[in-house]
Amino acid sequence: MNLLPDLRGLTPVGMAELCVSLGGTPHQARAVSRAVFRDGVESLSELPVAARLRALLAGRCRISTLGIDTRLKSDDGTEKFLYRLQDGETVEGVLIPERARRTLCVSTQVGCRSACRFCVTGMSGFVRSLSAAEMAGQVIAAQKVAGCRVTNIVLMGCGEPLDNFDAVSRFACIAVDPLAFGIPPGRITLSTSGITPEIARMPRELDVRLAVSLNAADDETRSRIMPINRKYPLAKLMQALRAYGETGRRVLIEYVLLAGVNDSASDAEKLAALLQELNCMVNLLLFNPQTDLPYRRPDELSARRFQRVLLDAGFVSVVRDSRGIDIAAACGQLRAATA
């Protein structure tokens, strides 16, 4: 295994420190950052700096590569990529075009420990976490193949981002830096199943938007469909979210509607009661059918009835369209370690 530092995993600040330590200038460091992150160079020989600095960098660091094995395009314009990592493992990602926005769904792990029952990502188990360089590589690869700049990032691909906190935090620093991807923090959203100790760290260490995959308002139901709830039950989770909300940040609640499981008017009323006094909005997502799973997608009328309960209780609530269902690119459909 190559243990040299990966330039794709350094923040532009870290890259500047490295270049200056080797006798380079801040101007050269900025040129290296732009070449690595904006231009996506894959070889140290391509860096637009003096030969002496290139040679010194070649002895002290590397540039990883990440390939796209498969690219599928949905009828609605959504694209799904199967990325192959340098050790042969794979993860999937999704690019969603919306008017002036290009949102990239970034994976943070190969597999997932959370093993939510309605999501196929964790069905093959957890393999390993990704590095910040591998997350940055997904952005670079997607931009190259799609021929456009990513404007928004959602950490909602394969894996539980808060199980990989340090690498995700470093990637976020890279993503927001104007010398790298230059994406404002308000356009980066992290989705978690509810790792409460790491939620507590976010206001201090990870300045991105927080989305929580809640999916039930009682412990019995949530533990049945989300095993993580046994470790971090709703009382602990809500305590962490209220503390997070007290910092002035708004929480995005994600709720996947499963027919006959969590989609009744009673379920909606319990959810409204649970979320009282929390600064939040609620995204409702209809379960995306998958042959490997026993759940059913509710009809549109059931979803609107559920939403009406929340609206009447004073919440902002939206029923989200599912994008990329025809290519298995919608929420809960991404797989890891897929040949």
Active site residues: 92, 331
- Rg (Cα) of the chain, in Å, rounded? 21
> What is the distance between the alpha carbons of residues 157 and 104, in angstroms, rounded to a whole number?
9
Contact between 265 and 306 (Cβ < 8 Å): yes
> What is the distance between the alpha carbons of residues 179 and 174, in angstroms, rounded to a whole number?
8
Backbone phi, then psi, for 320, in 5-degree steps? -80, 140
DSSP 109-176: EEE-SS--TT-SGGGG-EEEEPPHHHHHHHHHHHHHHHTS---EEEE-SSS-GGGGHHHHHHHHHHHH
Identify the DSSP state of 104: E
Contact between 242 and 278 (Cβ < 8 Å): yes
